[in-house]
Structure 1
Amino acid sequence: MTRILVVGSINMDLVTTASQFPRPGETLTGQGFATYPGGKGANQAVAAARLGAEVSMLGCVGNDAFGTELRQTLHREGIDTQWVFTTDKHPTGIASITVCDAENAIIVVPGANHALTPQHMQDAEAAFASADIVLAQLEVPLATVTAAAQQAKKHGKPFFLNPAPAVVLPESLLDLVSLLTPNEYELALALNDHAASWQALFARLPGRVVMTQGKAGASYSTSDAGILAQAGFAVSAVDTTGAGDTFNGALATFWHLGAAEAMRRACAAGALSVTKPGAQSGMPTLAELDSFLEQQS
């Protein structure tokens, strides 16, 4: 099994379903409400664990009911939670999500996620030493992500970065990234260049970018600066929340099979994830993914 250390956010998703998105100042009556475990870090950890990876989570929750529940949820998924720290100074992070016609609008309150520090990366050095791949996102402080990348380099581990939420990435961090996994907008912002085409941006980081393209699939910049494309899979979407996180967890899990096969499996896993509500609840198991891919051939 691939051993993946996920460094990132752990949230409780508060999901409201409505027939339309509210305009400023408008109050609507919704059709439903539910809470789901979330956070890009925890989502990607769950996706990888369900697909057969051996996963450790490095994050931070508050000393509250949501924190306790989220830690227990990760443990039930078979994820090592010894590196999930608890803070008394901040509540567990939440995401307020409105879902309408399979699209979503999200407000994230980081809470304890912003209490994850570079010192925690040093405290968890043993986790970096034992991992095959380190996978991170940007819902924890950028200084912490950079410290994680430095620990990965120190121990000779590939560092995969999903640059979401999108920000301009400093060159000092980009230099430490083995694989960047943005969508087209995130790629332009990460490299601070909205004028160039995504193909031109790919050429700046050959062999180091996999770009998600929604229903269209994904593209990879090969080491010779060519582009490898993987088409998407047609499914009936119910809730797109967590599709990108599923893709990233799958990509890290199957990267050892080569870029082409990892992208094929990641696109298929991402497609399967949108057929059920909730970020983590829709993520497929390895058996479900294998069955789906057999049906596509």
Structure 2
Amino acid sequence: MSRAPRIAVFGSVNMDLVAYVDQVPSSGETVTGTAFRQVPGGKGANQAVAAARAGADTAFLGAVGDDSFGEALRANLVDCDIDVSGLRTAPGASGVAHIVVDGGGGNSIIVVPGANGTVTASAESDAAVIGAHDALLLQLELPMAAVVDAARTGRRLGVPVYLTPAPARELPAELLESVDVLVPNEHEAAAITGLTDPYEALDALVELVPEVLLTMGGAGALHGSRGSKPVHVPARKVEAVDTTAAGDTYCGAFAVARAEGRTPEDAMRFAAAAAALSVQRHGAASSIPTRAEIAAYVAADA
């Protein structure tokens, strides 16, 4: 591809309120945290930042509130060279996520949708943006009707549709029929299929959509498609300090690499490097590496 890949993302954008603790408190327990950060996030925005930093011309479609968080979230996307002409402003609060990160880098998250919940359909103007791009990335932090609408738009316009099925929920047939690449983690794959073995879940998912990228954290990722054998690419061995947005980083980087014409295995190695860099840093969008950082990391391991 002689030009940069073009990636459109239709999804959520939140302000992440992140508390760091040695151990996550149980119900009724109070613990003392070690740090607090307020950083831009949201699965959609994270994937957009990941795609942009991995080298794509990226557009983001979604909504923020008319509050100070909304101003900051919009400004952050602009600072990341993301086209926000399709980012709406809705009356009221922006989306927020309360995230607790434990001493091992694991996290638990509560999302309050705010303005994201006002996106109940894909706007007419969204179709022009989607049609001008090489891939469309979707997640499930917007109302399902809007996600289905956007996926149908991508399918109608011949744009490959990637879906990260998070938060995990039942996926309607009208959504799956428009998805080209499903990108679940192992927990989401189990929730969809009822199968805990990743290879068995992969086989079941490939019956639903043409291509599946199943991420498994420290165990790496599996790729499968109809008529081909599964491909496993291990994760890089690093000391994780915060896994927030690691999956979104992987998805965004993978989509960019595939749009460049790389094989699934090559794209997975590129994405694994991006995710490994992200988990060694704190925050969501703030942890996502640039293309130069990913390239240098890959070259150092060559």
Q: TM-score, normalised by structure 2?
A: 0.94
- Shifted more, 178-187 versus 223-232: the winner is 223-232
- Give structure 2 stretches of 5+ with no counterpart: none
Query: What corresponds to 1:290 in structure 2?
Result: 295
- For the structure 1 residues 258 and 134, does the alpha-carbon distance in structure 2 shift closer, same or farther, using more than 3 Å as the test? same
In the alignment, residue 278 of structure 1 is paired with which amino acid? G
1:24 Cα deviation after fit? 0.9
The CA deviation string for residues 65-119 of structure 1, in whole angstroms up to 9 with x for no partner, is: 000000000000000001000111x31000001111111111111111111121x
What is the CA–CA distance in structure 2 between the aligned matches of 1:139 and 1:148, rounded to whole Å?
13
8 Å CA contact 2:12, 2:116 repeated in 1:
yes
Q: State whether residues 213 and 222 of structure 2, in contact with CA within 8 Å, keep that contact through their aligned partners in structure 1.
A: yes
Q: CA deviation at 1:129?
A: 1.6
Letter in 2 for 1:99: V
Post-superposition CA distance 1:103-159 (Å, at most 9, x none): 1111111111111121x4323221012111000100001110000011101211000
Gaps of 5+ in 1: none
Alignment match of 1:69 (pick from 72, 78, 88): 72
Residue 220 (structure 2) aligns with: 217
Ranges of 4+ aligned residues in structure 1 off by more than 3 Å: 193-196
Preserved CA contact (<8 Å) 1:250 1:266? yes
**Cα distance, 1:25 vs structure 2:** 1.2
Instruction: Describe the SS at the equivalent of 1:124.
Output: helix
CA distance in 2, matches of 1:112, 1:195: 35
In structure 2, C-alpha distance between the alignment counterparts of 1:121 and 1:262, rounded to whole Å? 31
Q: 1:121 to 1:251 in 2, by over 3 A?
A: farther
**2:263 paired residue number:** 258
1:117 aligned partner: 120
Deviates more, 1:97-106 or 1:137-146: 97-106
Q: How does 1:40-189 map to 2 (within 5 A)?
A: 40-88=43-91, 90-101=92-103, 102-118=105-121, 120-189=122-191
Q: In 2, Cα distance between the equivalents of 1:290 and 1:116?
A: 36
Counterpart Cα distance in 1 of 2:159 and 2:290: 26
Query: 1:11 and 2:10 equivalent?
Result: no
The percent of aligned pairs where both chains have the same amino acid is 43
* 1:215 Cα deviation after fit: 0.9
Change (3 A) 1:206 1:167: closer
Deviation, structure 1 residue 247: 0.3
SS of alignment partner, residue 209 of structure 1: strand
Taking the aligned partners of 1:131 and 1:117, their CA distance within structure 2 comes to 22
Contact 1:138-1:163 at 8 Å conserved across structures: yes
Confirm or deny that 1:248 pairs with 2:251.
yes
Counterpart CA distance in 1 for 2:279 and 2:230 is 26
What CA distance in whole angstroms lies between the structure 2 residues aligned with 1:174 and 1:56? 23
User: What secondary structure, in the 3-state scheme, does the structure 1 residue paired with 2:123 have?
Assistant: helix
8 Å CA contact 1:158–1:178 kept in 2: the answer is yes
CA distance in 1, matches of 2:209, 2:169: 21
Q: TM-score, normalised by structure 1?
A: 0.95
Q: Secondary structure at the match of 1:288?
A: helix
Residue 262 of structure 1 aligns to which amino acid in structure 2?
A
Deviates more, 1:43-52 or 1:251-260: 251-260
Q: Is residue 7–residue 135 contact of structure 2 (8 Å, CA) maintained in 1?
A: yes
Distance in 2 separating the partners of 1:180 and 1:82: 27
